[in-house]
């Protein structure tokens, strides 16, 4: 295995538990439109492909035409409530500090919009993260490999010297499309069983276990 020089992390379900803030924002949107609210379990099944997909999936089947009205409501509310309930998972901050001590560069690749993503990163990790790649107009979202390639370029890191860490089936597909070494985490938004079915070969149960793959 090549020497690991950088680690790319997904955000939602990998570094931080964002689900409750997403649920509250979605239900605020639905309530504004006099539509039925969604449970945490339902919202969990909607996440992974970005805010547009989350809002569309959250709308009832016979109200999908309200998407253009719903999306700006969601975005405006979520922008002001990014970290009401969101917190890093236990052990994540410790792992990040250890990686920094080892001289390993850290990037984030997420299907969150770029500006909210940067705000969350700044809130929890200040300037510890070397590159932050969220959804923009300049490259395709995951599972396209574009975001991984852009982040590696910003980190000046070769693909063979990188690890990609994520929790979702979208992350499994992204790593496959990019040809990246992938480590799945079991504490996020997908179950171990689903990750294995999707083709994940290496799964960790605690953030600190990632160090076993850093040579």
Which among 80, 113, 132 is the end of a domain? 80
Q: For residue 116, is pLDDT > 90?
A: yes
Return the pLDDT at 58: 98
Rounded-to-integer distance, Cα 12 and Cα 187, Å: 11
Q: What is the 3-state secondary structure (H, E, C) of 25-89?
A: HHHHHHHHCCCCCCCHHHHHHHCCCCHHHHHHHHCCHHHHHHHHHHHHHHHHHHHHCCCCCCEEC
Two tokens, residue 21: 């803030």
Q: Mark whether 57 and 145 lie in a shared domain.
A: no
Query: What is the rounded average pLDDT of the residues 148-161?
Result: 97
DSSP class of residue 4? Answer: P
Find the CATH number of the domain harbouring 70.
Answer: 1.10.150
Integer Cα distance of 125 and 174 in angstroms: 24
Q: Are residues 169 and 130 in the same domain?
A: yes
Judge if 133 and 46 occupy the same domain: no
Evaluate whether residue 99 is within a structural domain.
yes
Instruction: Domain of residue 57: give its range.
Output: 19-80
Q: State the Cα–Cα distance between residues 64 and 82, nearest whole angstrom.
A: 25
Q: Are residues 99 and 161 in the same domain?
A: yes
Quote the CA–CA distance of 108 and 93 in Å, as a whole number: 14
Last residue of a domain, one of 80, 97, 125: 80
Largest CA distance in the chain: 54
Span 86-99, average pLDDT? 98
Whether the per-residue pLDDT at 1 is higher than 80: the answer is no
State whether 197 and 91 are in the same domain. yes
Distance separating alpha carbons of residues 62 and 66, to the nearest angstrom: 9
Is 1 inside any structural domain?
no
Question: For position 188, what pLDDT does the model report?
Answer: 95
Q: Which CATH number do you get for residue 171?
A: 3.40.50.1000
Same domain assignment for residues 34 and 62: yes
Q: What is the dihedral of CA 17, 22, 23, 26, to 10 degrees?
A: -170
Residue-level length of the chain: 215
Each residue of 162-205: pLDDT tens digit?
999 999 999 999 999 999 999 999 999 999 999 999 999 999 99
Q: Average pLDDT of the chain? A: 96
Q: What is the pLDDT of residue 115?
A: 93
Is there a single domain that holds both residue 141 and residue 203? yes
Cα separation, 101 vs 206, in Å, equals: 19
Which of 58, 80, 102 is at the close of a domain?
Answer: 80
Measured between alpha carbons, how far is 200 from 175 in angstroms, rounded to an integer?
Answer: 10
What percent of the chain has a predicted confidence (pLDDT) above 70? Answer: 100
* Residue keyed to tokens 């339902």: 42
Q: What is the pLDDT of residue 2?
A: 80
User: Pseudo-torsion of CA 165, 206, 15, 17, nearest 10°?
Assistant: 130
């Amino acid at each position: 295995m090549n020497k690991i020089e950088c680690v790319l992390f997904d955000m939602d379900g990998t570094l931080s538990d964002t689900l409750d803030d997403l649920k509250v924002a979605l239900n605020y949107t639905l309530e504004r439109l006099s539509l039925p609210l969604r449970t945490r379990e339902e919202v969990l099944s909607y996440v992974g492909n970005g805010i547009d997909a989350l809002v569309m999936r959250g709308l009832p089947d016979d109200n999908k035409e309200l998407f253009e009205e719903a999306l700006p409501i969601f975005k405006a509310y979520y922008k002001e409530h990014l970290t009401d309930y969101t917190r890093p998972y236990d052990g994540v901050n410790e792992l990040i500090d250890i990686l920094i001590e080892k001289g390993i560069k850290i990037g984030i690749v997420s299907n969150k919009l770029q500006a909210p993503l940067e705000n969350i990163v700044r809130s929890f990790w200040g300037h510890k993260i070397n590159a932050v790649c969220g959804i923009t107009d300049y490259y395709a979202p995951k599972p396209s490999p574009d975001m991984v390639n852009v982040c590696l370029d910003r980190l000046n890191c070769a693909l063979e010297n990188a690890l990609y860490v994520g929790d979702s089936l979208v992350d499994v597909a992204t790593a496959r499309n990019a040809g990246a070494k992938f480590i799945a985490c079991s504490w996020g938004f997908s179950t171990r069983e689903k990750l294995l079915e999707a083709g994940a070969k290496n799964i960790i149960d605690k953030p600190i276990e990632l160090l076993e793959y850093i040579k």
